[in-house]
A and B are shown apart, each in its own frame.
Chain A
Amino acid sequence: MLTFATLRERWPSFAGGFVVLFLGMAMVSMSVLALASAGARVPERLAGTPVFVSVPMAERGDGDFAPDRPWSPETVASLRERLDAIPGVAQAVPDRTFYAQPVIGGRPVAGDRGYAWSAAMLAPYPLTAGAAPREGEVALDRSLGLAPGERVSVLTVHGPVTYPVSGTVDGPGVYLNDAEAARLSAGVRAIGLVTEPGADVAAVAAAARAVAGGVVLTGEGRGALETREDERTRWIGLQVLTAMAALSAFVSVLVVGSTFAVGVAQRRREFGLLRAVGATPRQVRRMVYGEALAVGVTATAGGVAAGALLGPVLGDLLVTVGFQPPGFAVRWSPLPLAGSFAVGVVVTLAGVWSASRRAARVRPLEALREAEVDDRPMPRGRWIAGVACCALGLAAAAGAGRSDGSDAFVVSGLVAAMGVIAGLALLSPAVVPPVARLVSWPLARGRGATGMLVRENALTAVRRTAATATPVLITVGCAVLITGMVQTTAAAFAEVRATTIRADAVIVPDGTPGLTDAAASAAGAESSLFSGLFEPDGGVLSAIGATPELLERAGDVQMVSGSLDALRSEDRVLVAQWLAEDRGLRPGSTLPVSFEDGTSATPTVAGVVREADADVLLSRELLRRHDPVALAEEAYVAGAAGPPGPGARVMDVPTYAAEADAEEDRLVWIATVLLVVVSTAYAGVAIVNTMAMSAAGRVRDLAVLRLSGATVRQVLATVAAESVLVVLLGGGLGLVVALPALLGMRRAFATAMRADVPLVVPWPLILGVIAACLALAACAAVLAARPAVRRAAPAGAAETRWRRGPRSG
């Protein structure tokens, strides 16, 4: 009874908690739904085939997307033969894929995958027109708008090739005759078993299991056949979604906690009265929990419903931005929604825990207090936690400052700033007032009443001042720190690239995933290829295929022993120092490996390099021969560069240095901005909440102001100016905490990279954050105070209102 009556009576004071829980739980449920939908999916182009045999899949660490070792061509042939013989199998089809990107109207189209024609039956994608491709012909996606008989230019790993179109299919991709596809493809990693109509799939799978040499995948298990890129994209999406959900839940706990803390502080007399007429502390605590749960359950239910509705929109957004692979869609399922609901309830209970204890400690005599003064000191636990956080932060800062760049200075810097920010936030009731006194000192010198009022209000309403300044402090501090770090890191890498690239121009992909050999060697350009080598035990080594000249010019390879000239020979390789030490390799040792095409070799180690971008260096020709799919990421041109052909463009070195890694940087940046925007939104809710809740406590003060001759406008100006002062205070503190940490990090970077790293802070974004907080605080304060100011109008308010226009407050 009392719970609902209280909610009805005091809903504005619960509004902040409600809004935050609603938003937070919408966020959480959306993220959780997306997470639940984000499992590996059976690729559409393989969906029509019930059973697959795949290469054994190695256990990989989190965030490791190294490919599995493909079968050797001999193994593929023998597997095929044995799988073909299984009763019920119509055909065992090796899944061969390669790079093939049609160029239409001079521009490469969006899809860049090519397949062997026989793989079209895995979907299946039957012909919609024309015939299957013979040697030198191509069948392709009907949606490209080409008809059988027309000719199309297709970019392959070697360069553009013009094919006559033999037919079209109703699915994505470019299809070549099997023999031609085999020459362009990497090693086979999966064989699809196309079954005869009416075949017993379980029996086929069992028979396939009996054929040694692979893993049998059926049903949803075929999701393991998704591409490594999709897997990596999903992994990134997972991180972003998890971060969002965690941040939302965390902020919800904090805001619910502070909402109820303020609410309890404002209602001490009521709790005292209840205690006096016979409520036990336990009953009071249960009452506060009841109110919180009533608010929490409705807000959570609403939030989860909104999240469920918006989930598909989020799914599309994630795909657009690049946090989920194409084809990803959010699916509704009850469990994630129920889980989100439970999270909301737990968040509510956690948030209200401390407030309920405080309410239960109210003594019955407090019912008789004349005025509601909030003179309780800061709890000891908060002091201890705040000082501990600051100490941890300062210790980490000292560590980061002393760092020579070899250890995890980025982490130290982050811990330093986070520690101090959290510490300051905890200590804010103690820290903010003296700082406010200092900063607002000039206001006391002026002659106008507003300045004096603003200062005194901010100083006396300690709790309100701290409650407003703290979210701004946290948001601005974190925004400066995280965005500054991301951009400074990017700038540092760009700087390092710019100083190490010794070339006149760079050829880069343009609308393609990489450079074809033709584009990469245009105008005498040189390029390296990046690939993987598979050790006999299944381990994967990264490999770069390059010419000695190119490595020389790139300038970042330091020899420990041997010389780069070894790369002119086909059977010799250079290995990284760590690998040499780990495997006991010396010049003259052999390194048995197999390649991306499944073939094996035993090259001789000719030397050891100290710093290289890969574990193994080998000749470009050797790598190309064994990896028909690798595309160069960039090619370096000495002297004037000519036109590189379709799918590539020429850039000067400084531009390239600044833009390289753009895709990766773009994703990180989007995630960062998203984080900043979400936390600013939460800070905004916290600010508005504080303003709305403290408005009630100010009614009397404002009325006194009015009665002592202030116009409505003057009073509101005072209120707005006070909130502006407090927000600026929080923002300033945030900057003061974050900037030194950033500067320390920049110095450590500069030392580590031996380059002049600029400090980049995205000021427009930071200023935007502060401006948003300012606007919200001022508007909320004025709107919350206005009814009270109007009501408190002395006789003659009407006149005042009429005269208000031309005067300034």
Chain B
Amino acid sequence: MDREETVRLRAVRRLYGTAAHTVRALDGVTASFHAGTLTAIMGPSGSGKSTLLHCAAGLDRPTGGTVAIDGTDLGSLSENGLTLLRRERVGFVFQAFNLVSALTAEQNVALPLRLAGRAAPSGLVRAALAEVGLADRAGHRPSGLSGGEQQRVAIARALITRPAVVFADEPTGQLDTRVSRQILGMLRGLVDDRGQTMIMVTHDPVTASYADRVLFLADGRVVDELTGTVTAEIVAARMAVLEAAPC
């Protein structure tokens, strides 16, 4: 595959804590994510998966190294510039608390457009909701939606600005198996049909099996990578090795 790089991390480090006691959440991560691919990031709990995602998405600034999205170096952007980049080029789906509780599903989806001061034509927003199968739920508030429906609204919102890349942190972590499958199938479909670039954190081998590529993290470093045919069994086997390793 010779596709362009959408997200590139080079020697990214992220330290937490005081001088006396530092945690190396990321310890020199270099990775590229190509357009139109779905990458899963896996690793034991505390290995730095979320931190990697936050740094790559411009939600957090790395202590060292560089991150570039669509060729733009995030380190060179001001706080405002970073916000605008997130608004225009990046979409997010978090594990939970994805929606503003005061707004309806439709309003939540339109939020990034409105924040950008752009028109949010009702047709466009409803089409986005229809794409995730929620055409009939546009007027509901999050409190009236199931967990799976809330995640689907979040996905519709992440896609509404046609971002270069969508980041998802355990998007199905709080859902039951059946709903998880539906949502993962939908994400896979977006990558295949639209060529959407997507990076997804998970610790579940079955979830990872939907990806084109799996990166394995341990102690803040990329320790392994799977490409080609990714099955839950292979992923689980690799994970078992990682989790058995002494920290």
Contacts and interface: CB of A to CB of B under 8 A. Distances in A.
Q: Do A and B bind each other?
A: yes
Interface of A: 1-2, 5-6, 8-10, 269-270, 273-281, 283, 364-365, 367-368
Contact of A5 (B86, B92, B94, B103): B103
A1 B114 contact: yes
Given A5-B103, A6-B102, A280 B97 contact: no
6 contacts: A5-B103, A274-B115, A277-B115, A279-B115, A280-B80, A281-B83
A276 B111 CA distance: 11
Given A1-B114, A283-B115, A365-B54, A276 B92 contact: yes
Contacts of B54: 365, 368
Given A276-B86, A367-B97, A368-B94, A8 B79 contact: no
B112 A278 contact: yes
Contacts of B99: 273
B94 A281 contact: no
B87 A277 contact: yes
A1 B169 CA distance: 28
A364 B112 CA distance: 14
A747 B45 CA distance: 69
B59 A365 contact: yes
Most buried by A among B92, B97, B101, B102: B102
A368 B54 CA distance: 10
B240 interface: no
A276 B102 CA distance: 17
B98 A368 contact: no
A348 B71 CA distance: 45
Contacts of A364: 59, 86
B107 A5 contact: yes
B84 interface: yes
Nearest to B113: A278
B107 A277 contact: no
A270 B114 contact: no
Contact of B97 (A9, A10, A269, A365): A269
B100 A278 contact: no
B234 interface: no
B13 interface: no
Give chain A's interface secondary structure class. helix
Interface of B: 50, 54, 59-60, 79-80, 83-84, 86-88, 92, 94-95, 97-104, 107, 111-112, 114-116, 141, 157, 169
B94 A274 contact: no
Contacts of B59: 276, 364-365
Contacts of A280: 80, 83-84, 115
Given A9-B101, A278-B115, 19 more contacts: A2-B107, A5-B107, A6-B102, A9-B102, A270-B100, A270-B101, A277-B86, A277-B87, A277-B92, A277-B115, A277-B157, A278-B83, A278-B88, A278-B116, A279-B83, A280-B80, A280-B115, A365-B60, A368-B54
B100 A273 contact: yes
A448 B30 CA distance: 59
Nearest to B90: A278
A281 B115 contact: no
Contacts of B101: 9, 270
Contacts of A269: 97
B110 to A, nearest CB: 8
A375 B41 CA distance: 32
A283 B157 CA distance: 19
A273 B100 CA distance: 8
Most buried by B among A270, A277, A365: A277
B94 A367 contact: yes
Contacts of A367: 94, 97
Nearest to A283: B115
Which 6 residue pairs spanning A and B have beta carbons closest together? A278-B87, A9-B102, A5-B102, A6-B102, A364-B59, A280-B83
Nearest to A280: B83
B143 to A, nearest CB: 9
Contact of B98 (A273, A278, A279, A281): A273
A19 B114 CA distance: 32
A27 to B, nearest CB: 31
A588 to B, nearest CB: 86
Contacts of B116: 278
Contacts of B92: 276-277
Nearest to B54: A365
B87 A273 contact: no
Contacts of B88: 278
Contact of A274 (B60, B79, B100, B107): B100
Contacts of A6: 102
B86 A281 contact: no
A387 B89 CA distance: 48
A274 B101 CA distance: 12
Most buried by B among A269, A280, A281: A280
A488 B88 CA distance: 69
Contacts of A270: 100-101
A364 B59 CA distance: 6
A283 to B, nearest CB: 6
B197 to A, nearest CB: 18
A8 B102 contact: yes
Nearest to B60: A365
A78 to B, nearest CB: 81
Given A8-B102, A269-B97, A364-B59, A275 B169 contact: no
Contacts of A279: 83, 87, 115
A320 to B, nearest CB: 48
A273 to B, nearest CB: 6
Nearest to B53: A368
B159 to A, nearest CB: 12
A284 to B, nearest CB: 10
Contacts of A276: 59, 86, 92
Contacts of A8: 102
Contacts of A10: 102
Nearest to A269: B97
A476 B98 CA distance: 45
Contacts of B60: 365
A9 B80 CA distance: 29
Contacts of B94: 367-368
Nearest to B160: A277
A6 B101 CA distance: 8
Nearest to B85: A278
A45 B139 CA distance: 70
Nearest to A9: B102
Contacts of A277: 86-87, 92, 111-112, 115, 157
A6 B104 CA distance: 11
Contacts of B84: 278, 280
B100 A275 contact: no
A721 to B, nearest CB: 32
Nearest to B83: A280
A9 B101 CA distance: 8
Contacts of A1: 103, 107, 114
Given A269-B97, A367-B94, A367-B97, A2 B86 contact: no
A9 to B, nearest CB: 4
A281 B97 contact: no
Nearest to B59: A364
Contacts of B102: 2, 5-6, 8-10
Contacts of A275: 83
Contacts of B169: 368
Contacts of A273: 97-100
A338 B99 CA distance: 40
Nearest to A281: B79
Nearest to A10: B102
A1 B119 CA distance: 13
Contacts of B95: 368
A678 B189 CA distance: 65
A6 B100 CA distance: 9
Nearest to A278: B87
Contacts of B107: 1-2, 5
A5 B139 CA distance: 13
